[in-house]
Every structure is written in structure tokens, then in C-alpha cells.
Chain A
């Protein structure tokens, strides 16, 4: 007997799906903004070999990049309460995403900073700018422009990775999908719709970040 598709069984829960997608996007927005900020701090610490911070960020980057995101999330949500650090599932999910993206973007942004031509730094030095002024006005924007596509991809990876947060009952899109599927047993339809929604969100984020890049980072209107 042929399988009879029933997408209506999914769409009757569209409010759950949309709310889940909204939460996924919110998680990603907060995670990306704070993660990139953390990444800039990490990148400067590494590129300038700041005492203490360079070492700390070095260990942090290696630990995060060489362990599974799911384990990082479990450690934060289930492990840390043993030390008295209790978080809601939302707080844990955001924190895990920030920490995860912070590590990857530290390395990505560091590459951008270190690719700064020597002459740019010498020109800034000659104009009597301090190291910090030179970083802020001369180094940062071209560095971000150089690695913007790589950073965009990393943000999308983190957005897709947020599906894992359903495992601690963060009510994002995958959590909603699992819930709907457990009610209607329409796994094919539910996950096909969910797949389409993730795909759409990824393309949307790519567009938004490309616009942000053109408008604020690369800053060239030609």
C-alpha cells in the first residue's frame, strides 16, 4: 500500500513551527552578536600576544574546537549546576552558542587581522596613532571585510547547530518538529517541512549578513 502524504497534519501545528523558527533565529542573532564580539577580543589577544589573555584564549579555542557541541551544551546545562551555576534551557543554549562561535570566530578573525599589510600599520604608526587607535580605525574593518564570507558561513553553521539545543528542551525549531512528529507520527512530512524552514532561514541569514557586510564592514558603495 502506497504511503499517503498528509501535510495538513503538520500545518495544523504551524504556530508551533513558526514560534520555533522565531526562537532559532533569536538564539542565532544573540549568539552571533555576542560570539563575534568575543571572537574580536580573542583575535586581538592572540594576534597581539597579550599577556595572560593569549594563553587563555589559546586553551579555550582548542578545547571548544575539539569537542562536540552537544557535550559542551550538556556540560553547561547538566554539569555546571553541580558548582551551583543553574541556568534555564534558554540561558544555557545562548551561552553554549556564544562560547562555540566565540572560539571559531577567534581563529577566523585572527587570520583577518594578521593579513593586515605591514604598510598599513606603519602608516598608522607614522601618524602617531596608538596601537588601539590603529586597531580600531585602520585594522578592524578591513580585517573583518577580508574574512566576512568565512564568518558568515560559521554563523550559519551555528544556526544549524542550534538544533542540538532541542536536547535540553530549548523550544526552538527542531524541538517543535520533534514534538509535532510525536503527536501525528508524520515524520516524513514534519521533517521535510522543517528541512525547508532551516534552508530558508540559512538563505535569509546569508542575505542579511551580506547586506550588513556591504553596508557596515566593506563599506564601499560602487
Chain B
């Protein structure tokens, strides 16, 4: 059974029909790259998977738990799905350690000793064990994003969603974040990422999804799809990105 499965998912923002019937299956251990022009619906698609956007029609299944259109309890779903944002969204009034410990403490009600050990382990994983007592504003963008990854991992999610997580970073900081993501992929974490890093998508991803006008326009193995796009829209998009 697929870890994440979307069936006939529709989403409207007012009169704007953003997702027009998306079917998608993600298996355990998949690394999925979502690409497409801005406004194609790729971020919206990602955000439906942890309920940040409610779906208007269709069905979403994560790890066997179903979420139908307009349905209520998202918290069970969200404990299985981690999310990392373009703007990091660390909590500025909490230290790095407190950022990572917050959700396991208040949501899972783990003891302080247990969450602290967990937080230190996760920060060590992203190479920031020594920043436990620092505040987010004392860190570089790349370090902040790695803390955000540790924070998401501390909830031990089944799948991690990455929404353009290197787009707000200075170029020299991108690689340290990608290295962490690459390591997670190697360890078998299921990843779904909206990205503009085409080389990274080709190198790390095993599934490429090209969104166009609210639909999955083309998908497949990244190496094959990049080498030989079947639709003119994808060929155009790849050309535009590479010319850049």
C-alpha cells in the first residue's frame, strides 16, 4: 500500500481552480521532486498533504489514515507528516533546543529528559549539536533551515514535505541544507519536495512530477524525464530553467 495516496484531489481558491483532479501515489522511501512554473499548483499540492490546505474534492490517504474533503481532525495526519518551509519559520522566542523540543513535549507529552535527548540527537544529525542554546536569529539561514529539519524530524514523521527549502538561502548556504536532505534520502526517509534545484532533483529524486495548470502533466524517473521530455510544456520549462 502506498504511504501517501491522493485520488481525484481538487482545490479552489475562490474562483481560481488550483488543483484539477490530482492522482498521486508515493511509496515508502520515495524521493519525489515536484516541479513546475509558479502558479502551477505544486506548492498547493504539497500543502494539501498535511492539511495546511483543505481539499475540496477527492481523497487523501497517509499511512492508511484517510482524509476526505472537508473532514475535520488533522492532528493525527500531521503527526505522520513533517513540513519544512521556504522561510524556516523557527520560533524566534525559543532557543534552538526549545524549538526542537516543543512539539514532542506538548503534542506527544514526552518527558523533558526524553525530549531533550531526542532534540540533541536530531540536532547532531543536522550538524548543529553545538547550537542547542542559541536563538534562531544568531544563526545563518542555512543553519536555521537545518534546525527546522531537526524540528520536523523530532516528531518522527513517516514523510517529510519540503516547500522550496533552499529558495530563501544565499547561494553558498544551499549545499549544506541539500547535504542534510541527501543524507535523509539515503537513510530511507520518504521525501516530497517542491524544488527549483533541478540537478538535485535529478541526482537524489527517484520520481519527478511536473505540474502544469493544476494537473500532473508529466511524471516519471527524473533522469529519463529530463533527458527526454514527452510534452512540449515540460521541454519548455526545462529549457527556461537551464537557460537561467
Give A residues with C-beta under 8 Å from B.
117, 119-120, 122-123, 125-130, 133, 137-138, 141-142, 145, 218-220
Contact = CB atoms under 8 A, between A and B. Distances in A.
How extensive is the interface on chain B, given as a class?
20 to 34
Given A133-B106, A138-B102, 18 more contacts: A122-B52, A122-B89, A123-B83, A123-B89, A123-B91, A125-B52, A125-B78, A126-B52, A126-B152, A127-B107, A127-B155, A128-B78, A128-B79, A130-B75, A133-B107, A137-B91, A142-B91, A142-B92
B85 A119 contact: yes
* Residue from the set B75, B79, B91, B148 with the largest chain A CB neighbour count within 10 Å: B91
Contacts of B155: 127-128
Nearest to A138: B91
B103 interface: yes
Interface string B140-180: 00000000100110010000000000000000000000000
B93 A142 contact: yes
Interface string B79-113: 10111010101111100000000110011000000
B237 interface: no
Contact of B102 (A125, A130, A137, A141): A137
A9 B29 CA distance: 87
A129 B107 CA distance: 6
Interface of B: 50-52, 74-75, 78-79, 81-83, 85, 87, 89-93, 102-103, 106-107, 135, 148, 151-152, 155
A138 B136 CA distance: 14
A126 B107 contact: no
Contacts of B107: 127-129, 133
Given A125-B52, A133-B106, A120 B91 contact: yes
Nearest to A221: B135
Contacts of A218: 93
A194 B231 CA distance: 84
30 contacts: A117-B89, A120-B91, A122-B52, A122-B83, A122-B85, A123-B83, A123-B89, A123-B91, A125-B51, A125-B52, A127-B78, A127-B103, A127-B152, A127-B155, A128-B75, A128-B78, A128-B103, A128-B155, A129-B102, A129-B103, A129-B107, A133-B106, A133-B107, A137-B102, A138-B102, A142-B91, A142-B92, A142-B93, A219-B93, A220-B135
Ordered nearest first, which 8 A-B pairs have the shortest CB separation? A127-B103, A123-B89, A126-B83, A128-B78, A119-B89, A128-B79, A141-B93, A128-B107
Nearest to B81: A126
Contacts of A126: 50, 52, 78, 81-83, 152
